Amino acid sequence: MGSSYDLSKIDVEKMQVALATDVGSTTTKARFFKKIDGHWRFICAGEAPTTVEKPFEDVTMGLRNAIREVEELTGHKLLKPDGSGLIIPYQGNNVGVDLYVSTSSAGGGLQMMVAGVVKTMTAESAERAALGAGAIVMDVMAIDDGRPPYKKIERMRFLRPDMILLAGGTDGGTVKHVVEIAELIKAAEPRPRFGLGYKLPIVYAGNKNAREHIKNILGEKFTLTIVDNIRPVLEVEIVEPARNAIHRLFMEHVMAHAPGYHKLTEWVMAPVMPTPAGEGMMFRTIARMWKINVLGVGLGGATTNVYSVYEGKFVRTVSANLGMSYSICNVLKEAGVENIMRWLPFKMSERELRNRLANKMIRPTTLPQTLDDLMVEHAVAREAIRMGFEHHKLLARGLRGVQRKRTIADIFEQSMEEETYIDMMNVHFVGGTGGLLSHTPRRQQAALILIDAFQVKGVTRLMCDSIFMMPHLGVMSTVHPKAAMEIFERDCIVKLGTAIALDGHSKSSGPAVKVTAHMPDGSTVEKVVNYGEIASIPLSADQTAKIVIEPSSDFDVGTGKGKKREAEVWGGAGGIIIDARGRPLHLPEDFETRREMLLKWFRALDAYPESILSKEKI
Amino acid sequence: MSGSVSSGKKAQSAHAYTPGLRVSPLSRVWKIRRLPLPGEVLVNKDDKVSYDTIVARTNMPGDIRVVSAAAILGVEPEELPIYMKKKVGDPVKKDEIIAMYKAFFGLLKSEIKSPVDGYIEHISEVTGQVIIREPPIPVEVDAYIPGIVTESIEKEGVRIDCAATFIEGIFGIGGERHGAVYVAVDSPDDELTVDMVSSKWKDKIVIGGSYASAEVMKKAMSVGAKGLVVGGMDFKDFSDFLGYEIGVAITGREDIPMTVIITEGFGKMRMAKKTFDLLKQNEGELACIDGATQIRAGVIRPEVIIPKLDVDPLSLPEEAEIYVGGMQPGTKVRVIRAPYFGALAKVVSLPVELQKVETESPVRVVEIELQDGKRVIVPRANVELFEW
């Protein structure tokens, strides 16, 4: 099974037409690209309901529908007359396609259980590897996770993972503990989600000395794949072999048991990737091409994926139950009603808010029609991203268990190794994707959501996905990175502006910062912003400006308190957004004071129509 | 358990989409009753079954207990087999000695007793663990709906078909239940109040109108009602009733003796008249209900099935669960989001161009005429097909 195309024999430079699809849990999305005047461009999109479930049980039906929509919109023939695949390669005269790739998250994506010996060491490394491969991690088991063996077994029997990643021990170290976990897995016999007669795949990435024992214990009942140890020594984490094995097994086992996928794997020219892996691939490409630190968020209906590429380290996390539709009530549950309400400039009863979110949960495809409904969704989005990022920071941290030489300074900062290595001051770029962020009626709304949720500091460029295209470009970049990046820059990225955010607080409400912008037309714009306020200098998406930031002595923009900083910034719907509200951002508890502040911020960016801002109660 | 219903609509085009909630006076309803693991199917094709007939049975592997035997005995893991009194596969009784270590002519002695009845599944020379498996747990699957066995799936289960009135709800909690339909209000606009709850509700599937509170749910459960079906309830009341907050819409396994289903949505919402009238017509009849709801990955909606045993299900058409075609002027719909949430309407036109709604978002819209004759524009995503 699998693709019959040998990409090494295909000259990507000669490609003219490309198609990428994403088979999502509810919608299958096709994106059609063409090389025009030597440049790759996005041409159009086609969408149709996913057909992985009964009564269809064949993903290619939904795929054909989505691709047919592209055909209808462009007049370009893509499907073979009998519908058995795509016409490859491009035949000229608007027939055929040179490249076809796909991602998939249908049926809830790739769901994994990971296990290791020590929770904060090998189990954490295994978790990072599985997440980086695009999986949803259902549970992390470890010898020291505080659960007695029978509880672990009970949990394993309850879960129905698609795959297990087992790590544990350094090479040459004791084998006992990792074998103990393997014995528990064998005894629990976790059953896969799909198919009664299907052997659950297990990837073993632990102590190499335990391999024979692992084979004896798990070899018969499971499909066992052995790869290099994820932590060969404590000081090193190597996730690539485990991640690659997960991708391969996802194709060969998990997808092979999903209805109609065998056809899809024959249609595509490169391996099908889990959707978040495609999205992550694109954020990595941005970081690599522009040589910057990147933070990204995929805010979906069911999950929130957060990606960071920080000083070359890539980490992805998924908060499986934080989302804008299916799991919107879980955002409410986790964040608490007050944390959502704090972003609303009007009063709404708690009961009403809960009912609105619950109605969105049970009718996930509906859209906000009223402005108050829109603002409620934006409030939830801020909290979902905030919590997703909190979760991310727990994994984006240095390797633990490593012996380090401690200096006097380290002793004073005892929590250092517990904390994330992501310093918001050094994050140069924040990108958002997903229906809500891509479809904000005013782009300034998306900019504010990202600023508030991530609490950016210093100078940060902001962007969002024009239409959901990042996973498509990610998988495309595995075959043709140049085309993917060209389309990303020209048609995918929507520049929202650049945020200049001050770190710190002040006792005075007076001037906090002066920003001088040297505009592209040669003029100079000067703006002084008071503490607690936001202001904007208009700068369009196709423009850049050189700026000089002069914070007052209470604030830091990345060069130290009160120190001047110069930067080159890009524009966008929000222009140059000067955020002098201070960090961490505080919202007053008293409704009237808070409302006054929120209104000031929203008005400063012209983020919402006056008709809703003037309403005090809904 | 999977299942479906058909009401005889024909496929019209390739563009299939998810329909609105189904409410049908007479349909062929079928259910696949499947074992969680292969086992024995107890009925045959063409058999008539009652809702409580056991149709299949199997044994789930028993729970396991892990005993750190080498550590308890104070021996090395590789020495463990020497001290074992039982071999892999041997049955053991609770408190029976399974391993013993003696030294110094019996002066130093430690022993390990089995914590449970079962058998020895594994003795590890690497970890020094002994794994004891408890006896298998029998699992039975009943028919849930009365009807005819139309298919027997070897070792897995059966398909049962019946003719029934079928009503799909939007959200529910609690699993499969059975009881006679009892309509406790006069109109779909009426609220169920605490003072209405009576001993007459015992063993009944109680039908309300537009609203019921957590207090009503609690009192209904205390008098022994089997089910409660109303138009709307506050989301908060579900948490108050269950004692915990619902985060994700995957329900049906709550540990409660009464199943609750809402047919329209959260908040005070008048039950659709058609739904209410159908339930009223079936007062006193047996209803099979299930509150299980799953919004994602294989939508499952809660359901009320009122079997019609005098109608041969095989005489009704069997078709796939695909409602196709699309909205056209005149199509009846229900609005499923503010500001007209719950309103019933008819499609007037389907503008091709995207239009901006109040949020300023350009969206695909539909023009509809509400029951009071007012014409409004709403996003197409905010209506569902609904016969009223």
Identify the CATH number of the domain in which residue A96 sits. 3.30.420
Q: What is the pLDDT of residue B36?
A: 78
Q: What is the pLDDT of residue A419?
A: 85
Task: Classify B227 as helix, strand or coil.
Answer: strand
pLDDT band of B12, cuts 50, 70, 90 = very low
Same domain, A121 and A88: no
Q: What is the pLDDT of residue B63?
A: 82
Give the one of A48, A55, A367 whose C-beta lies nearest to B363's C-beta.
A367
- Out of A106, A125, A143, a domain closes at A106
- Sign of the torsion angle spanned by Cα atoms A444, A450, A451, A456: negative
- Out of B108, B133, B158, a domain closes at B133
Nearest-neighbour CA in chain A from B77: distance (Å): 9
CATH code for the domain of B243: 3.50.30
- Whether B236 and A188 lie within 8 Å, measured CB to CB: no
Which alpha helices (DSSP H) does A167-230 contain, by range?
176-188, 211-218
* Contact status of A197 with chain B (Cβ, < 8 Å): no
Residue pLDDT, tens place only, B61-97: 888 888 999 999 999 999 999 999 999 999 999 999 9
Considering the domain boundaries, does residue B19 fall inside one?
no
Residue pLDDT, tens place only, A566-590: 999 999 999 999 999 999 999 999 9
Considering the domain boundaries, does residue B186 fall inside one?
yes
Contact A134, A277 (CB under 8 A): yes
Considering the domain boundaries, does residue A2 fall inside one?
no
Contact A30, A64 (CB under 8 A): no
Task: Classify B119 as helix, strand or coil.
Answer: strand
Size of interface A-B (CB pairs under 8 A): 179
Place of tokens 């002040």: A506
Whether pLDDT at A397 is above 50? yes
Residue pLDDT, tens place only, B246-286: 988 889 989 999 999 999 999 999 999 999 999 999 999 99
Same domain, A36 and A113: no
Higher pLDDT, A65 or B388: A65
Q: Which residues of A touch B267 (CB under 8 A)?
A: 352, 355, 359
Same domain, B180 and B121: no
Same domain, A77 and A124: no
- Residues paired with residue B31 on neighbouring β-strands, in sequence order: B3, B160
Angstrom distance (rounded) from CA A300 to CA A433: 8
Same domain, B208 and B265: yes
Picking from A184-198, B78-92, B349-363, which range would have the lowest pLDDT averaged per residue?
A: A184-198
Considering the domain boundaries, does residue A316 fall inside one?
yes
Considering the domain boundaries, does residue B368 fall inside one?
yes
Angstrom distance (rounded) from CA A100 to CA A116: 38
Angstrom distance (rounded) from CA B159 to CA B46: 10
Whether pLDDT at B10 is above 60? no
Considering the domain boundaries, does residue A569 fall inside one?
yes
Q: Per this entry, what is the length of chain A?
A: 618
SS3 content of chain B, % helix, strand, coil (to 5): 15, 40, 45
How many separate helices (H) and strands (E) can be counted in chain B? 5, 30
Q: Which of residues 355-384 of A touch B (CB under 8 A)?
A: 355-359, 361-371, 373-374
Which residues make Cβ contacts (< 8 Å) with residue A118, sequence separation at least 6? A142, A143, A144, A168, A401
Q: Tokens at residue B59, please?
A: 């044994």
How many separate helices (H) and strands (E) can be counted in chain A? 19, 20
Q: Which of B68, B127, B129 to mutate to test the interface with A (most CBs of A within 10 A)?
A: B127
Domain of residue A391 covers 294-613
- Whether A183 and B293 lie within 8 Å, measured CB to CB: no
Same domain, A533 and A437: yes
Q: What is the pLDDT of residue B323?
A: 47
Considering the domain boundaries, does residue B162 fall inside one?
no
- Out of B111, B133, B155, a domain closes at B133
Nearest-neighbour CA in chain A from B356: distance (Å): 9
Same domain, A512 and A369: yes
CATH code for the domain of A181: 3.40.50.280
Same domain, A241 and A340: no
Considering the domain boundaries, does residue B265 fall inside one?
yes
pLDDT band of A401, cuts 50, 70, 90 = low
Considering the domain boundaries, does residue A517 fall inside one?
yes
Determine what percent of chain B is predicted with pLDDT higher than 70: 92
Q: Which of residues 101-130 of B touch A (CB under 8 A)?
A: 121-122, 124, 126-129
Q: What is the pLDDT of residue B349?
A: 94
Same domain, B371 and B264: no
Same domain, B217 and B263: yes
pLDDT band of A287, cuts 50, 70, 90 = very high
Same domain, B293 and B357: no
Whether pLDDT at A127 is above 70? yes
pLDDT band of B6, cuts 50, 70, 90 = very low
Give the one of A326, A357, A370 whose C-beta lies nearest to B359's C-beta.
A370
Q: Tokens at residue A477, please?
A: 């970049």
Q: Which residues of B touch A327 (CB under 8 A)?
A: 247-248
Q: Which residues of A touch B234 (CB under 8 A)?
A: 351, 354-355
Determine what percent of chain B is predicted with pLDDT higher than 90: 74
Burial code (b: 16+ CB inside 10 Å, e: under 16) for A396-416 equals: bbebeeeeeeeeeeeeeeeee
Whether pLDDT at B105 is above 80? no
Considering the domain boundaries, does residue B34 fall inside one?
no
Same domain, A329 and A347: yes
Same domain, A88 and A123: no
Task: Classify A58 as helix, strand or coil.
Answer: coil
* Contact status of A188 with chain B (Cβ, < 8 Å): yes
Residue of A nearest to B78 (CA): A176
Contact A200, A163 (CB under 8 A): yes
Task: Classify B244 as helix, strand or coil.
Answer: coil
C-alpha A89 chain-centroid distance: 32
Considering the domain boundaries, does residue A285 fall inside one?
no
Residue pLDDT, tens place only, B323-355: 445 678 999 999 999 999 989 999 999 988 889
Q: Which of residues 584-613 of A touch B (CB under 8 A)?
A: 609
Same domain, A118 and A232: yes
Angstrom distance (rounded) from CA A533 to CA A531: 6
pLDDT band of B116, cuts 50, 70, 90 = very high
Same domain, A34 and A167: no
CA distances to A429, A574, B80 from A570, in Å? 11, 10, 69
Angstrom distance (rounded) from CA A599 to CA B304: 48
Q: Tokens at residue A229, please?
A: 């140890």
Nearest-neighbour CA in chain A from B169: distance (Å): 11
* Contact status of B320 with chain A (Cβ, < 8 Å): yes
CA distances to B25, B207, B261 from B187, in Å? 19, 10, 18
pTM: 0.87
Q: What is the pLDDT of residue A240?
A: 87
* Contact status of B337 with chain A (Cβ, < 8 Å): yes
Domain count, chain B: 3
Whether pLDDT at A492 is above 60? yes
Angstrom distance (rounded) from CA A34 to CA A40: 6
Give the one of A179, A186, A369 whose C-beta lies nearest to B359's C-beta.
A369
- Out of B105, B133, B161, a domain closes at B133
Same domain, B94 and B179: no
Residue of A nearest to B15 (CA): A65
Picking from A535-539, B215-219, B322-326, B367-371, which range would have the lowest pLDDT averaged per residue?
A: B322-326
Same domain, A423 and A547: yes
B233: how many CB neighbours lie within 10 A of its CB? 31
Angle at B36 (CA atoms; ends B30, B40), nearest 5 degrees: 80
Considering the domain boundaries, does residue A61 fall inside one?
yes
Q: What is the mean pLDDT of residues B146-153?
A: 96
Same domain, B295 and B209: yes
Q: What is the pLDDT of residue A407?
A: 52
Contact B213, B236 (CB under 8 A): no
Same domain, A136 and A95: no
Establish whether this prediction's ipTM goes over 0.85.
Answer: yes
Q: What is the mean pLDDT of residues A462-472?
A: 93
Which residues make Cβ contacts (< 8 Å) with residue A163, sequence separation at least 6? A110, A111, A112, A113, A135, A200, A201, A202, A203, A246, A249, A250, A253, A254
Same domain, B209 and B293: yes
Same domain, B182 and B128: no
Mean pLDDT of all residues in chain B?
90
Task: Classify B163 as helix, strand or coil.
Answer: strand
The CB-side HSE value for A231 (13 A sphere, CA atoms) comes to 26
Considering the domain boundaries, does residue A372 fall inside one?
yes
Q: Tokens at residue A110, please?
A: 């790739």
- Out of A57, A90, A106, a domain closes at A106
Same domain, B176 and B264: yes
Picking from A18-27, A408-417, A455-464, A608-617, which range would have the lowest pLDDT averaged per residue?
A: A408-417
Mean pLDDT of all residues in chain A?
90
CA distances to A424, A551, A568, B104 from A565, in Å? 16, 9, 10, 80
- Whether B293 and A55 lie within 8 Å, measured CB to CB: no
CATH code for the domain of B99: 2.40.50
Domain of residue B376 covers 332-385
Whether pLDDT at B150 is above 50? yes
Considering the domain boundaries, does residue B266 fall inside one?
yes
Q: What is the pLDDT of residue A9?
A: 79
Residue pLDDT, tens place only, A47-70: 887 877 666 778 899 899 999 989
Angstrom distance (rounded) from CA B22 to CA B17: 14
Sheet with B130-133, edge to edge strand ranges? B64-67, B130-133, B118-123, B91-92
Angstrom distance (rounded) from CA A29 to CA A20: 8
Same domain, B354 and B236: no
- Whether B64 and A49 lie within 8 Å, measured CB to CB: no
Phi-psi region at A482: left, alpha or beta (left = phi > 0; alpha = psi -120 to 50): alpha
Q: Which of residues 239-298 of A touch B (CB under 8 A)?
A: none
* Contact status of A99 with chain B (Cβ, < 8 Å): no
Q: What is the mean pLDDT of residues A533-547?
A: 97
Q: Which contiguous run of DSSP H or E holds residue A427?
A: none
Contact A94, A296 (CB under 8 A): no
Angle at A499 (CA atoms; ends A495, A504), nearest 5 degrees: 160
Residue pLDDT, tens place only, A337-350: 999 999 999 999 99
* Contact status of B202 with chain A (Cβ, < 8 Å): no
Whether pLDDT at A613 is above 50? yes
- Out of A76, A106, A136, a domain closes at A106
- Which has the closest alpha carbon to B26: B304, B311, B322, B289? B311
Q: What is the pLDDT of residue B107?
A: 74
* Contact status of B133 with chain A (Cβ, < 8 Å): yes
Angstrom distance (rounded) from CA B64 to CA A298: 40
Considering the domain boundaries, does residue B139 fall inside one?
no
Which residues make Cβ contacts (< 8 Å) with residue B172, sequence separation at least 6? B251, B252, B259, B260, B261, B262, B290, B291, B292, B293, B302
Same domain, B245 and B174: yes
Domain count, chain A: 3
Residue pLDDT, tens place only, B14-50: 333 445 788 899 999 999 998 877 899 999 999 999 9
